[in-house]
Every structure is written in C-alpha cells, then in structure tokens.
Structure 1
Amino acid sequence: MNKVFDMELFLAAVLKGSHATRQRHVRQAKIIQAEIAERWQRETPWVWQKKHVTWFLEKRLARRSNATRYYYLLTLRLLALRLEKSWV
C-alpha cells in the first residue's frame, strides 16, 4: 500500500507568512513534485537531485514570466531549506 506524499506537512516546518503565501508555496511545490514525478519518476523531494530542480527551472518554466519564475524559485528555496540542500 503506497501512501500519498503530503507536501503541506513536509513544508510546514519552513513555511512562514500569510495564509495566502503559505498556500501558494504548497500549491507550487505540488506542481513541482508532479512535474518531476512525471518526467523522472521521483515521487518525493527526498530523492530529488539538483538536476531535477534545474530541469524544472530551465525547461518547465522557460516560457513563463519573470514574476512566475521568481515565485517558483522562492518555493524551491523553501524545499532546499527543508531538505538541507544547497541547490539554489
């Protein structure tokens, strides 16, 4: 039996700010997780590598606005902080 990874619980320790900001980070983290899982079959952030995050930033966000890329970068920084990685 596979359990679904709870991104909100995973980020709870590092989320700060207003309710809307926290919800945006959780929503974006779920999108990042889904994209990496679809492309690389890596279901949880614990098994991600820098190349997965770089791929998401460079390929999946290539046609997005600068503001959108900035907000995703903030979310990725939270993920890196939670994982104690130095990706960004």
Structure 2
Amino acid sequence: MSKPFDMKLFLAGVLTGSHATRQRHLRQATIIQVEIAERWQREMPWAWQRKHVDWFLEHRLNRRSAATRYYYLLTVRLLARRLQKSWVFKL
C-alpha cells in the first residue's frame, strides 16, 4: 500500500500569503488532483500534462462563477511554478 500524496508538502516551497490564502490553495490543489486522478488516472502532479489541467479549468469549472475560476487559475499557476512548467492559461 502506497502512502497518499501530500499536497501540502508538494506546494510548501511556493506557497505564500496569509493563512487563509495558503489553505485555499491547498484545498483547491487537492480538488484539482482528485479530479485529474479520476478522469485521467494521473495521481501525481509530475505525471500531469497541460491538457489535463486545461481540461479541469474548461470542463470542471465551466458552471462556476468568474471569481471561482480566477481563484482556481491562481492555484494552477502556483502548481505550474512548482512543477517548473511554462504553462499559460487564460480565463
């Protein structure tokens, strides 16, 4: 049995801001991870491709408010920075 992925440890180096902001990023990053794992069977962020994250932003957030999509976009940018990817996403 493998150990569950620790998103807090994964984002520790790039996570800044107030306590509430850090908690929001961790919660949203975990939601992104679960959705991608269910749809694409990619458990770890290192296995993600841009299309996986793009799918999440386009199809899983399409009925959410503009503010919610913006906050998820900030979390995705944080994930991309941690993965050292040059991904660019637009709302």
Superposed CA deviations along residues 37-83 of structure 1, whole A, max 9, x for unmatched, are 00000001000000000100000000000000000000000000000
The offset of 1:87, in angstroms, is 1.5
Distance 1:29 1:6 in 2: 11
Q: Which amino acid aligns with 2:65?
A: S
2:28 aligned partner: 28
C-alpha separation between the residues in 2 aligned to 1:87 and 1:56? 14
What is aligned with 1:6?
6
Q: CA deviation at 1:2?
A: 0.9
Q: CA deviation at 1:3?
A: 1.2
Q: Which runs of 5+ in 1 are unaligned?
A: none
TM-score, with structure 2 as normaliser? 0.95
Which residue of structure 1 aligns with residue 62 of structure 2? Answer: 62
Report the count of equivalent residues. Answer: 88
Structure 2 gap segments, 5+ residues each: none
Give percent identity, aligned residues only. 80
Match of 1:87, SS state, is coil
Structure 2 distance, partners of 1:8, 1:60, is: 22
Report Cα offsets for 1:2-60 as digits up to 9, x if no partner: 11100000001000000000000000000000000000000010000000001000000
Determine the structure 1 residue equivalent to 2:82.
82
RMSD: 0.5
